[in-house]
Structure 1
């Protein structure tokens, strides 16, 4: 796109609005109607443009914020900016992309992980647990696995839904990636029964930690 301005991007996104996509997205709490493949194509046409990203984010439009995440420079945000952005984000997809596409690539990821864990806002705490699950799998030297298991055992059952989902992911990552803690992770999952009855489509793995762990370990051979 040659005319890389906020009004031009908003106009292009508005032209891509699809009522069927909106209906599907709204069932998941996302208030926009743009097919994500088409949204990614808009972002690709813009290229990396951090200043535009800041302006798109400030528009408070969900589709524009998703584009903003894709065209931003993750390392250009400071810790306070990322903290404020997460707390401002309303839509689940915006929070998810912000954590996975920006925060995880930021030099402030570990500071934010520690800052967000235990936050009173369940969505902020969920982001902290998502970053912790990532550390468990990729940078275990940054975390105390036994202390995490203690916390999960004590708090996951009664955690708010958003936080509970990411805590459960963390439990599964411990069981999948750390054989010496696998039995305890499975035992905690079996006793707490978090997401045991979660509806799972055919050919998909259940998020119930004992099943999830068992399936991923089986695939590892």
Structure 2
């Protein structure tokens, strides 16, 4: 904890706080520290219990993803209230755990929108990598009905799912684009030059163009 405190950078904190993250540790330095510590499951659990964001990010880098039980991951997700901790927990730990599909189903319809956003993120991963068994048309129905008024984090996750359905599954592409055009979610999102807009019609068009150009 003392070493993490020593890595605190006010400029990094100011940038992170704009994205809802309450820590000031440069992530490259955090990853270097994790590389030095290597995998330490018990230390990871102790770091998580501090409730400190930087410590929790470090915990997620040095933990053993397959060692967590289902209820433990469920509790951790409900404690992960900052975007970076939430995203790393889902991407670095839950996706590698044997309970991933069970948790995806449990979180998808959770009344807590932050928890539900994790269910949608895991669903998007399946849309891309393992779509067999998913009701893609049904997902589009839910997105069409609920995305416009969803809280920010859940809306972002739904929007990502919509985009990936359109990119990865040509038979649903026209409908995905139509939903995006009508709902106009993230249409005015500030996008830096040379970056792809998260507005689904533009995003799908750009990704399909790149694929066709190969």
What TM-score does the superposition give when structure 2 sets the normalisation length? 0.97
Could you say which residue in structure 1 is the equivalent of 2:91? Answer: 100
Residue 197 (structure 1) aligned to one of 164, 169, 188: 188
Q: Does 1:147 align with 2:151?
A: no
Residue 162 (structure 2) aligned to one of 171, 184, 189: 171
Could you tell me which runs of 5 or more consecutive residues in structure 1 were left unpaired when the two chains were aligned: 1-9
Q: Does 1:187 align with 2:178?
A: yes
CA-CA distance at 1:90 after TM superposition = 2.2
Structure 1 segments, 4+ long, off by >2 Å, are none
Describe the superposition over 1:122-153 as per-residue Cα deviations: whole angstroms up to 9, x where unpaired.
11011111011110000101411111011111
Could you say which residue in structure 2 is the equivalent of 1:75? Answer: 66
Could you say which residue in structure 2 is the equivalent of 1:133? Answer: 124
Q: Does 1:123 align with 2:114?
A: yes
Secondary structure of the residue aligned to 1:157 is helix
Structure 2: distance between partners of 1:142 and 1:168: 21
CA RMSD of aligned residues (A): 0.7
Aligned residues: 212
Secondary structure of the residue aligned to 1:198 is coil
CA-CA distance at 1:220 after TM superposition = 0.7
Structure 2: distance between partners of 1:154 and 1:60: 36
Could you say which residue in structure 2 is the equivalent of 1:60? Answer: 51
Structure 2: distance between partners of 1:25 and 1:193: 27
Structure 2: distance between partners of 1:76 and 1:165: 30
What TM-score does the superposition give when structure 1 sets the normalisation length? 0.94
